[in-house]
Amino acid sequence: MWRDELNALAIAWASPTISSLFWHIHREGHPWLWYMILWIPSRFTQSVLVLKVVQGIVSTAIILFVALRSPFRAWEKALVLASYFFVFEYTILARMYGVMLLIFVVYLWWRTTRPESPIVSAVLLGLMASVDTIGIILSFALLLEYAYAAFAQRSSAPFFPRKVAIYALAVYAAITLFAVWSAKPAADVSWRTTGRPFKDAKSWSHLYKALQNYTILPFFSVQSPHSHFFWNPDLHLSRLAYTAPMLLILGMIYFSFRGRTNLLLMIGFMILAGTAFGHLIYAGYERHFGAVFLTFLAAAWIVRAAAPAALLPAPVYILLVVSALSGVWATIGSWMHPFSYDKTAAQWIVANHMDNMPLVGEEDTSVVGVAEYLHRPIYQIECQCVDTYMLFSARRDDFTKADAPRRILRAAHFYHDQPLLFVRVYPMKPEEEQGLRSEGFQIEPLATFKEAEEVAENFYLYRLTLTNAAAGQPAPIR
C-alpha cells in the first residue's frame, strides 16, 4: 500500500474523537465518508491490514452487484468488470473511490428499477458526494440525468409527484452541503503539493490539457505498453496531436446516445465540469478522470435496462473494449513492479535493527508511508515537525531545497545529535551531499528500493552522523 492509502488510516488512528477526525478532514481536501468508515475499525485495531479488509469488502460487493444486478448481458458484464477502473484504480487501490463506485452501481440499479422512488436515489447521490470532491460533480451529473428524465415524462407517465421531488431534492442538498462543508479547506491548509486554486486560470493551454484529460484518459487509461510502467499516463506529445482522438471520442459518445438528451446532458456536464475542476482547482489524475467513464457507463446501463433485447450502439462496445484493454495492461503491469516500496523499506529497517533510530525524511508526502508501516513518528524537514502521519498544514509551505541541510542539522539536534536514519524519495545528488557535509554530517548509504510503479514511492535510506565538531552547534531556523 502507498502513502495515499495509508495516510487516511493513520489520520483515523490519530483522531480519538469524531471532532478531531473532522479537524483533520478539513486539511485533506476530501469529504467525510471514507474517513468515517476507517475511523470505526481504527478504534479496535492498529493493523494496516484493516485497509485491505475494508477495500476487499467494497470491491467484492462491486463485482457481485455488477454480476448479479446490472442489466448487461454476460459478455457485456465481462467487458465492464475488465475495464481499467473496475479492475484496478477503484478496486485494488484502498482509497475512497471504491466506495464511490459501489454507491454508483447501487444507485444505477435503483434508478433503473425503481425510478418512482427518488428519496432513496437522493440519499445515494448525497452519499456519493460525501466520498470525494469529484464524487460531488459526478453525483450532480447523475442528478441532472434523473431530473431531466423525470421532467420529460411529467405529462405522459410521471415518475413521482412534485411534492416528493421537492423532498428528494432537499435530502440531496442537505447531504451534499454537509459533504461540501467537510471538504472545505481549513485556513491553515497547505497548498505546497497541489498548488493554489486558479493559479493557471488564464492559461489556455492548461485549459485545453484539462479538456483532453477528461475526454481521452477516461478510456485510454494507461501508459503505452512500450513504457516500463502503466499508471497515470500523461499526454506528453504535442497537445494538437491529441485533438483528433479527442474529437473521435466525443463523436462516438454523441452517436451512441443521440436522441437521448438526458444521457448526453449527464456525460456532457461531467466532461465540462471535470475540465473546469481540472483547470481551475486541481489538475487531477486518472482517479478523477474516471468519473467521465462512469457517466458513460451509466448511460449504457440506462439504455440496456430500457431495451434488454437490443444490442448497444457499436461505439459503446468499442470504448468498453478500449477500457478493458487498459485494464488488462494494468493487471499485467501491477505484477511487473511493486506499486510502492514503503512496506519493503520498513521491513528492511526492522530486519537490520534500525527501527529505534531517529527517523527523518524528505518529501514528506511519500516518506511518511514508511513511518506509518513502522508505527513510528518521523521528523519531516518540510514542516520541522514530528508526526505519525501526513498533515497538510501551511507550516510546510515555506520549505525550499536549499533549506534541507540546515533543517536536517536541526533534526539532529532535536534528537540530541544521535545518528539519523534518513529516508528520501530520490537519491542524493553530489551538491546535496556536499551541503550535508558542510553542516558536519558523515553520509552512509544504506539501502535502495527503486523501480516502483509510483515514482514517488521509491526509497533511499542513509545513515547521517554528525562529526564531533558539528555536534551541539545550534542550527539557524529557515
**SS3 readout for 174-201:** HHHHHHHHHHCCCCCECCCCCCCCCCCC
What is d(CA 56, CA 63) in angstroms, rounded to the nearest whole number?
Answer: 11
Q: What is the pLDDT of residues 315-363, one digit of tens each?
A: 999 999 999 999 999 999 988 889 999 999 999 999 999 999 999 999 9
Q: Give 252-270 as a 3 state SS string.
A: HHHHHHCCCHHHHHHHHHH
Is the pLDDT at 473 greater than 80, yes or no? no
Q: What is the pLDDT of residues 58-80, one digit of tens each?
A: 999 999 999 999 999 999 999 99
Helix (H) or strand (E) holding 428: none
Q: What is the share, in percent, of the chain residues with pLDDT greater than 90?
A: 88
Which domains, from first to last, does the chain contain?
A: 3-336 (no CATH), 342-466 (3.40.50)
Question: Is the distance from CB of 449 to CB of 345 less than 8 angstroms?
Answer: yes
Predicted local distance difference test score (pLDDT) of residue 307:
95
Out of 157-161, 424-428, 438-442, 452-456, least confident range: 157-161
Rounded to whole angstroms, the maximal C-alpha distance in the chain is 88
Predicted local distance difference test score (pLDDT) of residue 373:
95
Predicted local distance difference test score (pLDDT) of residue 429:
95
pTM: 0.94
What is d(CA 269, CA 95) in angstroms, rounded to the nearest whole number?
Answer: 25
Is the pLDDT at 290 greater than 70, yes or no? yes
Running DSSP on this structure, what letter comes out for residue 284? -
What is d(CA 387, CA 389) in angstroms, rounded to the nearest whole number?
Answer: 5
pLDDT band for position 304 (cuts 50, 70, 90): very high
pLDDT band for position 211 (cuts 50, 70, 90): very high
Which of 201, 27, 11, 6 lies closest to 94, judged by CA? 6
Distance from the Cα of residue 238 to its chain's centroid? 26
Predicted local distance difference test score (pLDDT) of residue 468:
67
Helix (H) or strand (E) holding 449: strand 441-449
451 dihedral zone (left: phi>0; alpha: psi -120 to 50; beta): left
Predicted local distance difference test score (pLDDT) of residue 239:
66
Mean predicted lDDT score pLDDT of the chain: 94
Which of 412, 429, 383 lies closest to 471, judged by CA? 412
What is d(CA 272, CA 259) in angstroms, rounded to the nearest whole number?
Answer: 20
Q: Which residues of 446-478 are buried (b: 16+ CB within 10 A; e: fewer)?
A: ebebeebbbebbbbbbbbbbbeeebeeeebeee
What is d(CA 220, CA 276) in angstroms, rounded to the nearest whole number?
Answer: 20
Predicted local distance difference test score (pLDDT) of residue 478:
46
Predicted local distance difference test score (pLDDT) of residue 242:
86
Question: Is the distance from CB of 93 to CB of 54 less than 8 angstroms?
Answer: no
416 dihedral zone (left: phi>0; alpha: psi -120 to 50; beta): left
What is d(CA 245, CA 253) in angstroms, rounded to the nearest whole number?
Answer: 12
Pairing of strands 359-361, 441-449: unpaired
Is the pLDDT at 235 greater than 80, yes or no? no
Q: Which residue in this structure is represented by grid cell 445515494?
A: 124
Is the pLDDT at 219 greater than 50, yes or no? yes
Which of 412, 414, 398 lies closest to 462, judged by CA? 412
Predicted local distance difference test score (pLDDT) of residue 475:
53
Q: Give 350-404 as a 3 state SS string.
A: HHCCCCCCCEEECCHHHHHHHHHHHCCCEEECCCCEEECCCCCEHHHCCCCHHHH
User: Angle, nearest 10°, between helix axes 96-113 and 49-69?
Assistant: 20
Q: What is the share, in percent, of the chain residues with pLDDT greater than 70?
A: 96
Average pLDDT value for residue range 24-33? 96
Average pLDDT value for residue range 286-300? 97
Is the pLDDT at 244 greater than 80, yes or no? yes
Angle at 270 between CA 279 and CA 77, to 5 degrees: 130
Question: Is the distance from CB of 21 to CB of 40 less than 8 angstroms?
Answer: no
Question: Is the distance from CB of 379 to CB of 414 less than 8 angstroms?
Answer: yes
Helix (H) or strand (E) holding 43: none
